[in-house]
């Protein structure tokens, strides 16, 4: 590698997050310069269709003029401030109003962070603070699910049900993971979907009984597990667990970092799966990827309880320097308008059946695809060595990494997750671009499966 190349310079001075380093050693780093619509370009002039929307978030593409203008205009007007000490920007106030307006809540309150990880972390602190103020300081345990992804701070990584967090000595005590609601993988032989749901509901009841309801602060769930490999819940899952949580006064928090603002075909994933949480965690699509921002959207009950908890000490002692940043809020206001009023949300509803049909045709052509799963504009194809037994490929083959790298060679960016390939395209995708995405994925699968047989 030329030590003056962009790739070499990146490798020498930068660290990589969630990156297969052997691939980087063999193939080098892709250093990007700009984007046009759903396409990105690198320092060598190569072009890719990014079917991962950056990292789930660039739903309006990489050069949306309205979002760029909103950022420029706000930088000219008021380029930065905080939301401390009883001061915040007018953009922050307007965004809070808009988030409550488009939420499933009749009223609520919003707290801003810089990321989804920080928003989940903040929500945990809110629950701990609230329960302690209510005379229940022992209510600290957090329930999530295996394969869940809630972030990378020490707290949100403890919530994340992925084995790689063991290298950090996580999870911390008091973070409990229940069965992932993935019927295809987790269902017992001969067990129906309804029986699977009943088993998961019984598991929740048992965990609550064993741990003690009065020790549990909250239950966090993604409507669709995103970084776990795009895992929609089995039918009836939330309808089974929500009443149990309510009966034990355990708040249900919907982590909508990925699913919020249109990804599942509705504004919120909880609407797609017909449940109303006590709070919503938002990020990613909130600003269409044009600014780092997260938000905790509290429903009326939690908002009132937190207000009551705050009253005796007269402040909520938590926040971030860039919380409610005026430029981020201006971009978010425009992003919400773009998604909801410029046809992007409708494009997902219109395009999702076409995307699913195209992926099912690909699945039928490849005997090593065991499952297609997803909703809206988030889908995964899981590779297996044997479809009948669901036997995975040996880990040494790095099957999803091979497929993703082959896609990259063909001009398509997609994401490997476990032994799955994930597609979560921008909402602006045209029919021709969707066909391009599917054709390149099909070609990559054909090549890789021929190599590994």
pLDDT in tens, 32-67: 999 999 999 999 999 999 999 999 999 999 999 999
Which residue in the block uniquely carries the two structure tokens 């602060």?
A: 217
What whole-number distance in Å separates Cα of residue 276 and Cα of residue 264? 16
Q: What pLDDT does 265 receive? A: 97
Residue 453: its pLDDT value, please? 82
Report the alpha-carbon distance of residue 198 to residue 412 in Å, rounded: 41
Q: Tokens at residue 207, please?
A: 């965990």
CA 339 to chain centre: 17
**E-strand stretches of 271-336:** 279-282, 294-298
Q: Which residues contact 388 (CB under 8 A, 6 or more apart)?
A: none
Alpha carbons 264 and 278: distance in angstroms, whole number? 20
Class in CATH terms, 31-63+343-452? alpha beta
Chain-centroid distance of CA 437 in Å reads 21
> According to CATH, where is 3.90.1150.10 located in the chain?
31-63+343-452
Residues of the chain under the 50 pLDDT cut: none
DSSP 151: -
3-state secondary structure of 252: strand
Residues 389, 394, 400, CA angle at the centre, nearest 5°?
95
pLDDT tens for residues 359-368? 999 999 999 9
The four Cα atoms 212, 159, 104, 99 give a dihedral, to 10 degrees, of 140
Distance CA 154, CA 142 (A): 13
Per DSSP, 114 falls in state: S
What residue has token string 């309808």?
A: 239
Report the side by side order of strands in the sheet with 216-221: 109-113, 294-298, 279-282, 252-255, 216-221, 141-145, 175-178
Question: Where do the CATH 3.40.640.10 domains begin and end in the chain?
Answer: 68-341
Tell which residue, 29, 38, 23, 41, has the closest CA to residue 1: 29
Three-state DSSP class for 380? Answer: strand
Burial code (b: 16+ CB inside 10 Å, e: under 16) for 268-294 equals bbbbbbebbbbbbbbbbbbbbbbbbbb
Which residue shows structure tokens 């708040």? 251
- pLDDT tens by residue, 340-353: 999 999 999 999 99
The count of C-alpha atoms lying within 13 angstroms of the C-alpha of 1, restricted to the half-sphere facing its C-beta, is 16
Q: Cα-Cα-Cα-Cα dihedral of 192, 234, 181, 112, to 10°? A: -170
In the chain the first and final C-alpha atoms are separated, in Å, by 32
Strands 369-375 and 109-113, by their bridges, are unpaired
Question: What is the DSSP code (8-state) at residue 18?
Answer: S
Question: pLDDT at position 31, please?
Answer: 97
The DSSP output letter for 163 is G
102, 436, 449 from 267: Cα distances, Å: 8, 27, 37
Burial 27-53 (b: 16+ CB within 10 A, else e): ebbbebeebebbbbebeeeeebbbbbb
Nearest Cα to 249, choosing from 211, 281, 282, 208? 208
- Domain 68-341: state its class: alpha beta
Check residue 32 and give its pLDDT. Answer: 97
Three-class SS of residue 111? strand
């Amino acid at each position: 590698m030329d030590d003056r190349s962009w790739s070499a310079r990146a490798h020498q001075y930068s660290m990589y997050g969630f990156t297969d380093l052997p691939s980087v050693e063999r193939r080098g780093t892709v250093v990007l310069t700009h984007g046009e619509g759903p396409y990105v370009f690198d320092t060598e002039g190569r072009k890719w269709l990014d079917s991962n929307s950056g990292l789930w978030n660039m739903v309006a593409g990489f050069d949306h003029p309205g979002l760029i203008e909103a950022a420029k205009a706000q930088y000219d007007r008021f380029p930065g401030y905080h939301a401390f000490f009883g001061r915040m920007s007018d953009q922050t106030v307007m965004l809070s109003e808009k988030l409550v307006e488009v939420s499933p809540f009749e009223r609520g309150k919003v707290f801003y962070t810089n990321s989804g990880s920080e928003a989940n972390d903040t929500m945990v602190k809110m629950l701990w603070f609230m329960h302690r103020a209510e005379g229940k300081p022992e209510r600290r345990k957090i329930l999530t699910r295996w394969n869940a992804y809630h972030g990378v701070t020490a707290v949100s990584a403890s919530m994340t049900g992925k084995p790689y967090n063991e290298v950090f000595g996580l999870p911390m005590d008091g973070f409990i993971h229940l069965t992932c609601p993935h019927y295809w993988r987790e269902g017992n032989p001969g067990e129906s979907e309804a029986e699977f749901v009943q088993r998961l509901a019984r598991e929740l009841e048992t965990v609550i009984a064993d741990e003690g309801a009065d020790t549990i602060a909250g239950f966090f769930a993604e409507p669709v597990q995103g970084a776990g490999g795009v895992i929609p819940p089995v039918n009836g899952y939330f309808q089974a667990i929500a009443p149990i949580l309510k009966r034990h006064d355990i708040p249900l928090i919907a982590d909508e970092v990925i699913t919020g603002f249109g990804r599942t075909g509705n504004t919120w994933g909880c609407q797609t799966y017909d449940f109303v949480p006590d709070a919503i965690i938002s990020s990613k699509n909130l600003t269409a990827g044009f600014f780092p921002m997260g938000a905790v959207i509290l429903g009326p009950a939690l908002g009132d309880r937190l207000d009551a908890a705050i009253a005796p000490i007269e402040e909520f002692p938590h926040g971030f320097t860039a919380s409610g940043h005026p430029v981020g809020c201006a971009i978010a206001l425009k992003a919400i308008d773009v998604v909801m009023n410029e046809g992007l949300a409708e494009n997902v509803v219109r395009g999702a059946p076409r995307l699913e049909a195209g992926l099912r045709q690909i699945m039928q052509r490849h005997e090593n695809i065991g499952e297609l799963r997803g909703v809206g504009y988030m889908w995964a194809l899981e590779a297996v060595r044997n479809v009948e037994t669901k036997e995975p490929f040996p880990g040494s083959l790095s099957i999803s990494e091979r497929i993703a790298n082959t896609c990259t060679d063909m001009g398509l960016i997609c994401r490997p997750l476990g032994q799955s390939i994930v597609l979560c395209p921008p909402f602006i995708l045209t029919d021709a671009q969707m066909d391009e995405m599917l054709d390149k994925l099909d070609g990559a699968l054909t090549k890789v499966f021929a190599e590994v047989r």
